Amino acid sequence: MSNAPRPRVKVPKTASAGEVIAIKTLISHEMESGQRKDKDGNVIPRKIINKFSCAFNDQEVFSCDLDPAISANPYFEFNAKVPESGTFKFTWVDDDGSVYEDEQKIEVS
């Protein structure tokens, strides 16, 4: 896969104060496990996203340490409590040091 990993995040646009909302995230990534071999029998080096985190107004909400047993295009579904209007920031860290980010705003009425 030559395409750069593309994150997709689903966060409700609005919520009431203190509501617990569901967040869904997906990022395109091959998650090469380091267990597979190519046609010539050489091991394909591991290249996975090893860390995912979600913060709301710079406060950590949820994070995950990923291992090669996570499927390609890692998907996460989790919850977050929204006390006020603000911004969710999502971060994925690749084995090669690349960082992929996305942001979503939410309005609290």
Partner 1 sequence: MMMTRRRVLALAAGAAALPVLQLLPTSAFASVEETQKMIDDFAGGQELQSGKLTLTAPEIAENGNTVPITVEVESAMEGDDLVQSVMILAEDNPRPEVATFNFTAMSGTAAATTRMRLAKTQNVVALAKMADGTVYMDKKEVKVTIGGCGG
Cα-based distances in Å from 74 to 7, 27, 58? 10, 6, 23
Rounded Cα distance, 76 and 25, in Å: 5
Would you state the structure tokens that stand for residue 102, as one six-digit string? 């996305």
Our finding on whether 16 is near partner 1 (CB under 8 A) is no
C-beta of 64: minimal distance to partner 1 in Å? 5
Our finding on whether 84 is near partner 1 (CB under 8 A) is no
Task: Please select the residue that binds partner 1; options are 8, 14, 79, 84, rule is CB under 8 A.
Answer: 79
Query: Which region among 4-12, 67-75, 89-97, 99-107 touches partner 1 (by CB under 8 A)?
Result: 67-75
What residues does 21 pair with on adjacent strands?
Answer: 80
> 58: how many CB neighbours lie within 10 A of its CB?
8
Our finding on whether 92 is near partner 1 (CB under 8 A) is no
Would you state the structure tokens that stand for residue 33, as one six-digit string? 């496990």
Our finding on whether 78 is near partner 1 (CB under 8 A) is yes
Our finding on whether 85 is near partner 1 (CB under 8 A) is no
> 98: how many CB neighbours lie within 10 A of its CB?
12
Our finding on whether 108 is near partner 1 (CB under 8 A) is no
Task: Give the residues lining the site for partner 1 (CB under 8 A).
Answer: 20-21, 33, 35-37, 56, 59-72, 74-81
